[in-house]
Amino acid sequence: MLESFIVPLLAATVQSGTPILYATLGEILTEKGGVLNLGVEGMMSMAAFVAFAVAYTTGNPWLAFICGGLAGTMMAMLHGFVCITCLGNQVVSGLALTILGVGLCNFLGTPFIGLAAPGFSKFAIPVLSSIPYIGKIFFKQDALVYFCYFIPFIFMIFMNRTSLGIAITAVGEKPGAAAAAGLKSIRLRWMALLGGGFLIGLGGAYLSLAYTHLWANGLAGGRGWIAVALVIFAFWRPGRAVFGAYLFGGVMAFQLRLQAIGTHIPSSLLLMLPYALTILVLIFSAVRGRGGNAPAHLGINIEPEG
Amino acid sequence: MLGYRLQKRDEPWSWGAPIIVVGALVLSLGLSALLLELQGKSAVEGLFVLWQGAFGTSWALEDAILKSIPIFLCALGVATAFRMQVWNIGAEGQFALGAIGATWAALSFPDLPGYLLMPLMFLSAAVCGGFWAYIPAILRLKLKVNEIISTLMLNYIAILLLEYLVFGVWKDSKSYGFPVTPEFTGGAVIGQIGDSRLHWGFVVCIGAGLGMWAFMRFTRLGFDIKVAGEGQRVAIYSRLPYGKLTILVMAISGALAGWAGCIETSAVVNRLQPSIMVGYGYTAIVVAWLARLHPLYIAISAYLLAALRIGVENMQLELQIPAAFGSIMEGLILMSVLAGQMLVTYKITRKK
CA atoms in the 13 A half-sphere facing the CB of B92: 25
d(CA B311, CA B55): 8
- Is B328 within 8 Å of A232 when comparing Cβ atoms? no
What SS3 class is residue A182? coil
Per-residue pLDDT averaged across A91-102, rounded?
95
Residues 6+ apart with CB under 8 A from A288: none
How high is the pLDDT of residue A114?
A: 87
The partner residues of B24 in beta bridges, in order of sequence, read none
Residue A255: per-residue pLDDT = 87
Q: How many helices (H) and strands (E) does chain B have?
A: 14, 2
pLDDT in tens, chain B (352 residues): 567 777 888 777 778 888 888 999 999 999 999 999 988 888 888 888 988 888 888 888 889 999 999 999 999 999 999 999 999 999 999 999 999 999 999 999 988 888 899 999 999 999 999 999 999 999 999 998 999 999 999 999 999 999 999 988 888 888 777 888 888 888 888 888 888 888 998 999 999 999 999 999 999 999 999 999 888 788 888 888 899 999 999 999 999 999 999 999 999 888 999 999 999 999 999 999 999 898 999 999 999 999 999 999 999 988 888 889 999 999 999 999 999 888 888 888 877 6
Query: So what's the pLDDT on residue A47?
Result: 97
CA proximity to A275, closest of B249, B93, B331, B95: B93
**Average pLDDT of A80-105?**
94
| DSSP-based three-state secondary structure for A72 | helix
Cβ neighbour number for residue B350 with a 10 Å cutoff: 7
Q: State the greatest distance between any 2 C-alpha atoms of chain A, in Å, as a whole number.
A: 68
Interface of B with A in 235-294 (CB under 8 A): 282, 285-286, 289
Q: Count A/B contacts: CB-CB distance under 8 Å.
A: 142
* Mean pLDDT for chain A overall: 91
Task: Decide if A94 contacts A36 (C-beta within 8 A).
Answer: yes
Q: How far away is chain A from the Cα of B142, in angstroms, using its nearest Cα?
A: 9
Tell me the average pLDDT across A41-49. Answer: 96
CA–CA distance, A291 with B146 (Å, rounded to integer): 9
| Residue-level pLDDT at A299 | 86
Q: Which residue of A has its CA nearest to B8?
A: A306
Per-residue confidence (pLDDT) for residue A267, from 0 to 100: 84
Does residue B199 sit in helix, strand or coil? strand
8 Å CB contact between B121 and B183: no
Give percent of chain A above pLDDT 90.
Answer: 64
Cα nearest neighbour of B286 on chain A: A96
Residue A303 DSSP code: P
- pLDDT at site B29: 92
Judge: B160–A232 Cβ closer than 8 Å, yes or no.
no
Q: Could you say which DSSP state residue A291 is in?
A: G
Of all residues in chain A, the one with the smallest CA distance to B283 is A99
What is the rounded CA–CA span in Å between residue A31 and residue A135? 35
Who wins on pLDDT, B223 or A290? B223
Cα–Cα dist B279/A113, whole Å: 22
pLDDT at A160: 92
∠ CA B109-B114-B119, rounded to 5°: 80
- Residues linked to residue B5 through DSSP beta bridges, in sequence order: B349
DSSP A47: H
- Give the ipTM of the model, two decimals please: 0.92
- Predicted confidence at residue B352, as pLDDT, reads 61
A306 pLDDT band (50/70/90 cuts)? low
What pLDDT was estimated at residue B1? 53
Cβ neighbours of B321 in A, within 8 Å: 107
Cβ(A123)–Cβ(A138) below 8 Å: no
3-state secondary structure B281-331: HHHHHHHHHHCCCCHHHHHHHHHHHHHHHHHHHHHHHHHCCCCHHHHHHHH
Which residues numbered 70-89 in B keep a CB inside 8 Å of some CB on A?
Answer: 87, 89
- Residue A170 pLDDT: 93
E strand intervals along chain A: 123-124, 140-141
Q: What share of chain A is helix, strand, coil (3-state, %, to 5)?
A: 75, 0, 25
The DSSP code for A116 is B
Element housing A213 (H / E): none
CB contact (8 A) between residue B289 and residue A92: yes
Task: Please provide residue A123's backbone torsions phi and psi, each rounded to the nearest 5 degrees.
Answer: -140, 150
Q: How much is the pLDDT for A132?
A: 86
